[in-house]
Amino acid sequence: MSIERNPDRPRIDAREKVLGKAQFAADRPVPGLLHAMTVPAAIAKGDITAIDVERAAGVPGVVRVFTWRDFADIRETPATRGGGGDKPGYQPMKRPSVRHRGEPVALVVAETLEAAIEGAEAVSVRYRPSSFTASREQPGAEREPVTVDHRAGDAPAAFAAATSKLDVTYLHPQQHHNPIEMISTTAAFVDGKIVVMEGTQNSAAFKFGIAGMLGQDPQSFESSSPYVGGGFGQKNQLQQQSALVVRAAMLLKRPVKLVMPRSQLFHTATYRPLSRHRVQVGAGADGKFEAVLYDIEQQNSRFDQFGAAAGEHVSRMYATPNWRSTNQRVRVDVQAPAHQRAPQEHPSSYATECAYDELAYALGVDPLELRVRNDTQHDPITGKPFTSRNLAECLRRGAARFGWDRRKKEPGSMRTRDGMLVGFGVGAGAYKASMSPAVAKLRVNADGSSRLAITGHEFGQGMRSAVAAELINVLDIDPNRLEIALGDTSVAPQHITVGSWGCASSAPAARAAAELLRSKLVELVGAGRAKGPVASAIARARRPFLEVEVSQAGLEQPATVFQRLNSGMPAPVGPEYKQFTAFSWIAHFAEVHVEPSTCRVRVPRVVSVCDCGRVLNHRTAQNQVRGGVVWAFGAALRESAEIDARFGRILNNDLADYVLPVNADIGEIDVELLDVPDTNLNISGAKGIGEVAMVGATAAIVNAVYHATGKRVRHVPIRIEDLL
Amino acid sequence: MRQFTYTRARTTAEAVTAFGRAGREARYIAGGTSLYDLMKLGVERPLHLIDIADLDEMRHVDTAGERLVFGAGALMADVAENPVVRRDYPMLSESLSKAASQQLRNMATVGGNLLQRTRCPYFRHGAGGIYPCNKREPGSGCAAIGGLDRGQAVLGTSSACTAVSPGDWPVALTALDAVVELTGPAGPRSLPIADFYLLPGSTPDREFAMLPGEIITGIAVPKTAAGRRSTYHKIRDRESYAFALTSAAVALTIDGGRIRKAHVAIGGVGTRPWRARQTEVLLEGRPPTREAALAAAHAAFAGARPGKENAFKLELGARTIADAVVIAAERKV
């Protein structure tokens, strides 16, 4: 099936963002708004013996101080935080106890933000602390049984028989998303309903999940999240404060807003958990993989359901006849971890792509050649073909763009003119191509304006631009007069937008709506007169507008999937389908320069070539890759939560001390998108890009550091002291 | 929000008087880039703020005389970009331009910068009974000792405190024997910068040799020909907007291919800006090569007491000094 490629188009919401017209959750004006502030627990675990609110209540402007007594009846449901699954999560402030450092123990609501802060500081809490475990290495860490997550052939036997063997362990630290838009909750009353405004990737959770937790009818709630200032997976579920703020507003019968301070977010919001990765590879002398044994240990909270599941994509990366990956969770007394951009895929690609690099050097095979040699068009786990896999093409094109042929084999053998050690590194990645059901309602007016209401969330990734592209292509509508309503339960049913399935789910719905509208027009005026810009044809037909609604399921999904969508339940499909397995693919090449004296590592350039199916908007897609590479740079060389296990606290809990990359750190990032439609998957030919963007890029940088220095550092971030 | 009063002084004398009236819970404020931050963190809880940002008498930058004279209220950005400072004292300019961000340098003053408090995370993030800290709450203990100490000092530490002195500018000033001009209830006085910063000892809450109510009015730097062959070399965890892991301020007089006189001070490693006198002595008479410099540089850390994770600062610090010597020596006079 042939389908048009999208030309270069500006981001459709660029203008309103530049003008500051795009309103983020906490910016939206609400008359009569009260302000809330939380009091974070000062202990890591134990009981609350007394809360003295008298002084706080006396602060001028304070309206009410809530404690656990006010919230004890909030229900812990599967929608409650805890990383998914069907088990109830953990909601703080339900009981006089503390399960992790920093969880809210009181909520102060006041007429002004200043009064709320002052009131929160005036709340006096007495605790009976109990002993706690803050790290997997401490006594009291609870090890769950090891589970096998993916298997093919007989990996232990094949590994034992392999001629070349590698057995290495890589460590990945705890990381925090830190989206620039703070996490906030506002509960307001509009037309007899409670409207929850929170920057989220999952507005349905704020209608159905909050209702469930508060024992209310979901139909009395709406949730609105039209713009999100970065989500990265931290905004894909109810937050610790969400139900508390809504309940507070209901009790006070006034709208309430809470913007959680960043220092508290480090102890209340989700994060990427610390993980340990043992990779054993058995290979032939030619570098062909015979067996991979991959064991992940991940640090979790006592109560979350967040799985390591780290074998899902790495088992599909190469032709591996014998594969076994296992997961083990180790539970300690912290808040729940959950998804962070390329959640399992980033750490697992880091570990395996570095291990394969080690194998390549051990065998004397070019690391690029090792990857190409192990290419496959069939999923090693299911034996099915991939819907589309152009990884070898990504590797070849990337190598050409990068100038990989200039690489000298020996580590430490390349230098710049001014004496910097030069390293070249390669890493590859994949991310599942999933889809979810979506509903699109499209109305095109004869005056040339149009409105699309659709399932999906815009968090800067370009959702609006992606769905607009399909309307422009099919209907030739005016993008400047197109209104797109999304992320709002009152405009269309909403599905959680995560897992890189957002655009590949919503764009096909938009395309289907556009095609339906076009065919309605043909019915109305005949094929000949229906050509060209659709608004003119509608005008010629003397109709004020045409309107359609479509419900677009993901591939192979039954109609019943819309029941799940309409009740706010997650309903994704993939990456395993009846006929095939589907992934997006990427290859990254990094050049690093290491200063020989003080061992500062710089990354002057990265080349990334991605197979994400058909490109919906080149600018937003390329931005996704650049952003992913920046994240990967941060993971390789900058970011880590510094946890003092004596206190169970994150020591660097602000943006000054949590070391993120700055502009001066980032060199050239050269992105190529293959733009090969995958019409096996959906009518838009689209696969995800936001997550795959960073998968494998950290390994490319780490591998380049090895090539520059000859030092194999098996933890990230690599810091100066690791190379001195 | 905690209540405090705010007074905007029109003259230095008015500021000192206002401080005297307000008492010990008062703070002078100029750029506010540090104090507001610490107030939000609950580390500083002043009841009175006396704003000295408008004092014209403290804004001057005078490079004409025998000393460079910087009014305490001159902005970091302005001094960093001063053409004479850039040409004749690149070390001073670089120590300012490599600090903070442009936005902060546009607000912060060179006098206020001398009083920047430590970035020890246990000090900053521990108010309200979270972490003990002898600097924040005398007698409460030190969480950094036995804790995460990668960023802590290795020189000048005590059993009460290992907090590192955060500044860049003060390190450069220390290398060049600057003098801090003060005024207060008892009138004006001058202090060599070497006497301005206190070692923590058993009183880490006392950081500066200032008397209650005193204001820094200016900073004077004796001119030296070594200024042109100088640099402030700063090694940090990222390329910009980070405090030093190690830094070195080096100014050299070179004669016949050999170092005749060296000024060396180091940052990121000491509980105060640290003059590396032994290194200076060892450098004199030596050629400005990296090898010679590295041998001399190690002497700066002879008395170092590293903790669990910061021992790398000894080697890194020495290499930083050595690289700075090479950079400074290559500068044109």
pLDDT score of A85 more than 80: no
User: For the segment A662-674, what is each residue's pLDDT rounded down to a tens digit?
Assistant: 999 999 999 999 9
- pLDDT surpasses 90 at A318: yes
Would an 8 Å CB–CB cutoff place A111 in contact with chain B? no
Contact B241 A662 (CB under 8 A): yes
- CATH number of the domain residue B299 falls in: 3.30.390.50
CA distance A501 to A452: 19
Which of A114, A649, A720 faces B316 most closely, judged by CB atoms?
A: A720
The maximal CA–CA distance of chain B, rounded, in angstroms, is 63
| Cβ atoms within 10 Å, residue B263 | 25
B130–A647 CB contact, under 8 Å: yes
Q: Which two tokens stand for residue B170?
A: 């003060």
Rg (CA), chain A: 26
Q: A25-132+181-229+235-268 has which CATH code?
A: 3.90.1170.50
How many C-alpha atoms does A205 have within 13 Å on its Cβ side?
24
Chain A / chain B CB contacts < 8 angstroms: 80
Inter-chain residue contact A651 with B316, CB threshold 8 Å: no
pLDDT score of A690 more than 70:
yes
Domain annotation covers residue B242? yes
Q: Quick one: residue A620, left, alpha or beta (phi over 0 = left, psi -120 to 50 = alpha)?
A: alpha
Same domain, B98 and B206: yes
A651 and B315 within 8 Å at the Cβ level: the answer is: no
Question: Any idea which fold A435-566 has?
Answer: Aldehyde Oxidoreductase; domain 4 (3.30.365)
pLDDT class for B294, splitting at 50, 70, 90? Answer: very high
What residues of chain B, 7 to 46, have a C-beta less than 8 Å from chain A? 42
One domain, residues B109 and B244: no
Q: Which tokens belong to A206?
A: 């704020």
**Domain of residue B39, CATH code:** 3.30.43.10
B49 and B92 together in one domain: no
Task: State pLDDT tens for residues A223-249.
Answer: 999 999 999 999 999 999 999 999 999
At B316 the three-state DSSP class reads helix
Residue of B nearest to A113 (CA): B1
Q: Are B181 and B310 within one domain?
A: no
Which has the closest alpha carbon to A204: A181, A227, A236, A231?
A: A236
Same CATH fold assignment for domains A275-433+578-723 and A435-566 = yes
List the structure tokens of A228. 């999100």
Which of A38, A39, A127, A598 is the mutation pick for testing B, counting most B CBs within 10 A? A598
Q: Which of B143, B237, B322 sits opposite A659 (nearest CB)?
A: B237
Give a yes or no: residue B273 inside a domain.
Answer: yes
Maximum separation of any 2 CA atoms in chain A, in Å: 79
Task: Say whether pLDDT at A301 is over 70.
Answer: yes
- On whether both B271 and B252 belong to a single domain, the answer is yes
Q: Distance from B186 to chain A by nearest Cα, in Å?
A: 37
B269 domain-assigned: yes
A665: nearest CB among B42, B239, B323: B239
Chain-wide mean pLDDT for chain A?
A: 96
Q: Decide if B316 and A721 are in contact by the 8 Å CB cutoff.
A: yes
Q: DSSP H helical segments within A74-191, as ranges?
A: 113-122, 155-161
Q: Looking at A57-71, A85-99, A415-429, which range is the least confident one?
A: A85-99
Same-domain pairing of B110 and B179? yes
Q: Is B147 on the interface with A (CB under 8 A)?
A: yes
Q: How far is B2 from chain A, CA to nearest CA, in Å?
A: 6
* Nearest chain A alpha carbon to B240: A664
Inter-chain residue contact A665 with B238, CB threshold 8 Å: yes
For A717, the closest chain B residue by CA position comes to B237
Q: Test A602 with B130 for CB contact under 8 angstroms.
A: no
Half-sphere exposure of A135 (CA within 13 A, CB side): 15
> What distance in Å separates residue A599's CA from the closest CA in chain B?
9
What's phi and psi for A421, nearest 5 deg?
A: -75, 135
SS3 content of chain B, % helix, strand, coil (to 5): 30, 25, 45
pLDDT digits (tens, 9 = 90+) for A1-33: 579 999 999 999 999 999 999 999 999 999 999
Residue A639 has pLDDT above 80, yes or no: yes
Nearest chain B alpha carbon to A43: B130
What's the CA gap between A203 and A209, in Å, rounded?
10
Q: Using a CB-CB distance cutoff of 8 angstroms, which residues of chain A are in contact with residue B146?
A: 646
Per the rule left: phi > 0, alpha: psi between -120 and 50, beta: everything else, A494 is beta
The CATH number of whichever domain residue B212 belongs to comes to 3.30.465.10
Distance to chain A for B12, nearest Cα, Å: 32
Asked whether the beta carbons of residue A664 and residue B239 sit closer than 8 angstroms, the reply is yes
The token duo for A310 is 């780290």
CB atoms within 10 A of CB A146: 12
d(Cα A197, Cα A193) in Å, to the nearest integer? 12
pLDDT above 90 as % of chain A = 96
Q: Which residue of A has its CA nearest to B144?
A: A644
Q: Is A314 left (phi over 0), alpha (psi -120 to 50) or beta?
A: alpha
Q: Which of the 8 DSSP states describes residue A272? A: B
Residues B296 and B180 in one domain: no
Number of other CB atoms surrounding residue B330 within 10 Å: 10
Task: Determine whether the interchain pair B121/A642 forms a contact, defined as Cβ–Cβ distance below 8 Å.
Answer: yes
- In this prediction the ipTM stands at 0.97
What is the overall mean pLDDT for chain B?
Answer: 97
**B180 and B35 belong to one structural domain:** no
Distance CA A15, CA A458 (A): 15
Tokens of B115: 């009083």
Q: Is the Cβ of A721 closer than 8 Å to some Cβ of chain B?
A: yes
Tell me: pLDDT of B135 over 80. yes
Which residues of chain B lie closer than 8 angstroms to A662, CB-CB?
Answer: 238-241
Residues in chain B: 333
In chain A, the residue whose alpha carbon lies closest to the alpha carbon of B294 is: A597
B320 touches chain A (CB under 8 A): yes
Termini Cα distance of chain B:
54
Judge whether A664 is closer than 8 Å to chain B, CB to CB. Answer: yes
B16, B74: one domain: no
Nearest-Cα distance to chain B for A593, in Å, is: 13
- CB contacts of A644 in chain B (<8 Å) are 143, 147-148
Is the same domain home to B74 and B28? no
Contact list in B for residue A716 (CB cut-off 8 A) is: none
Cα–Cα dist A435/A576, whole Å:
11
B75 and B185 assigned to the same domain:
yes
* B66 close contact with A: CB closer than 8 A: no
Which residue shows structure tokens 């690289």? B323
Hey, where are the domains in chain A?
Answer: 25-132+181-229+235-268, 275-433+578-723, 435-566
pLDDT greater than 90 at residue A81: no
Chain A (398-457) residues lying within 8 Å, Cβ to Cβ, of chain B: none
| pTM of structure | 0.97
Question: Beta-carbon neighbour count of residue A476 at 10 Å?
Answer: 16
**Does the distance separating the beta carbons of B235 and A598 come in below 8 Å?**
yes
pLDDT surpasses 90 at A86: no
Least confident of A83-92, A541-550, B46-55, B122-131: A83-92
User: Is residue A310 very low, low, confident or very high in pLDDT (cuts 50, 70, 90)?
Assistant: confident
Helix (H, G, I), strand (E, B) or coil at A401: helix
Kindly calculate the radius of gyration of chain B based on its CA atoms and give it in whole angstroms: 19
The DSSP bridge partners found for residue A422 are A414, A593
Which residues does B174 contact at the CB level (< 8 Å), separation at least 6?
B193, B194, B249, B265, B273, B274, B275
Q: How confident is the model at residue A531 (pLDDT cuts 50, 70, 90)?
A: confident
Which chain A residues in 38-67 lie under 8 Å from chain B, judged by CB atoms? 42
Choose the weakest-confidence range: A75-79, B36-40, B90-94, B257-261.
A75-79
Residue A662 sits at the chain B interface (C-beta within 8 Å): yes
**Is residue A83 over pLDDT 80?**
no
Residue B194 is assigned to a structural domain of this protein = yes
Task: Show which of B183, B200, B222 is a domain's final residue.
Answer: B222
The Cα of B148 is separated from the nearest Cα of chain A by a number of Å equal to 6
Q: Which of residues 239-298 of B touch A (CB under 8 A)?
A: 239-242, 245-246, 290
Does residue B150 form part of some domain? no
Q: Which residues of A touch B240 (CB under 8 A)?
A: 662-665
Residue A308 is predicted with a pLDDT of 82
Would you say residue B193 has pLDDT above 90? Answer: yes
Mean pLDDT on A477-506? 96
Q: Which of B222, B237, B266 is the last residue of a domain?
A: B222
Q: Do A588 and A427 form a contact (C-beta atoms < 8 A)?
A: yes
Question: Using 50, 70 and 90 to split pLDDT, how confident is the model at B23?
Answer: confident
Identify the bridge partners of residue A297 per DSSP, sorted by sequence position: A276, A328
Q: Does residue B164 fall inside a structural domain?
A: no
**With an 8 Å Cβ cutoff, is B123 touching chain A?**
no
Contact B323 A657 (CB under 8 A): no
pLDDT in tens, A209-223: 999 999 999 999 999
Residue B88 in any domain: the answer is yes
From B14's Cα to the closest Cα of chain A, the distance in A is: 30
- What CATH number matches the domain at A275-433+578-723, 2.60.120.560, 3.40.50.970, 3.40.50.410, 3.30.365.10? 3.30.365.10
* Cα–Cα–Cα angle for B262, B265, B268, rounded to 5 degrees: 155
Q: Are strands A62-66 and A104-110 parallel, antiparallel or unpaired?
A: antiparallel
B130 with A42: Cβ contact below 8 A: yes
A406-430 per-position pLDDT tens digit: 999 999 999 999 999 999 999 999 9
User: Does B180 lie in the same domain as B315?
Assistant: no
Residue A84: pLDDT band with limits 50, 70, 90 = low
Question: What is the model's pLDDT at position A561?
Answer: 97
- Residue B190: which domain range? 56-115+169-222
- CA of A664: which chain B residue's CA is closest? B239
With CB atoms and an 8 Å threshold, state whether A118 touches B1.
Answer: yes
Tell me how many domains chain B contains.
3
Report CB contact under 8 Å: A663, B240: yes
